[in-house]
Homo-oligomer: A and B are copies of this chain.
Amino acid sequence: MEKRNQTVAVVGAGDFIGSAIAEKFASEGFTVFAGRRDGTKLAALADRVTAGGGRLEARSLDARVEDSINAFLQEAEAHAPLAGCIFNVGANVNFPVVETTERVFRKVWEMACYGGFLTGREAARLMLPRKEGFIFFTGATASLRGGVGYAAFSSAKFGLRAVAQSMARELGPHHIHVAHLIIDSGVDTAWVRQRIADREGAEALEKLDPGRLMRPAAVAEAYWSLFQQPEDAWSFEHEIRPFAERW
Taking a contact as CB atoms under 8 Å apart, the answer to whether B146 and A162 are in contact is yes
Taking a contact as CB atoms under 8 Å apart, the answer to whether B114 and A98 are in contact is no
Report how far A147 CA is from B162 CA in the complex, Å: 8
Report how far A155 CA is from B117 CA in the complex, Å: 9
Residue numbers in B under 8 Å from A142 (CB-CB): 162
Per-residue CB proximity of A228-247 to B under 8 Å, as 1/0?
11111111111111111111
Report if A32 contacts B (CB, 8 A). Answer: no
Among B162, B177, B213, B221, which residue has its beta carbon within 8 angstroms of that of A154?
A: B162
Copies in the complex: 4
Report how far A243 CA is from B156 CA in the complex, Å: 26
Residue numbers in B under 8 Å from A244 (CB-CB): 172-173
8 Å CB contacts to B: which residues of A155-198? 155-173, 175, 177
Q: Looking at the complex, which of A48-56, A85-93, A119-127 is the stretch in contact with chain B?
A: A119-127
Taking a contact as CB atoms under 8 Å apart, the answer to whether B155 and A159 are in contact is yes
Taking a contact as CB atoms under 8 Å apart, the answer to whether B146 and A245 are in contact is no
Given contacts A146-B169, A166-B151, A242-B233, contact A97 B109 (CB under 8 A): no
Given contacts A105-B114, A225-B225, A232-B242, contact A151 B163 (CB under 8 A): yes
Q: How far is the CB of A132 from chain B (nearest CB, A)?
A: 11
Taking a contact as CB atoms under 8 Å apart, the answer to whether A170 and B158 are in contact is no
Report how far A167 CA is from B155 CA in the complex, Å: 11
Give chain A's interface secondary structure class.
helix
Taking a contact as CB atoms under 8 Å apart, the answer to whether B128 and A98 are in contact is yes
Report how far A218 CA is from B156 CA in the complex, Å: 31
Report if A219 contacts B (CB, 8 A). Answer: yes
Taking a contact as CB atoms under 8 Å apart, the answer to whether A118 and B102 are in contact is yes
Among B163, B173, B177, which residue has its beta carbon within 8 angstroms of that of A155?
A: B163
Can you sample 22 A-B contacts with CB below 8 Å?
Answer: A97-B120, A97-B166, A97-B167, A97-B171, A102-B117, A106-B114, A155-B159, A155-B166, A173-B211, A173-B243, A211-B231, A213-B232, A215-B232, A222-B229, A225-B225, A234-B240, A234-B241, A234-B242, A235-B239, A236-B239, A236-B241, A237-B239
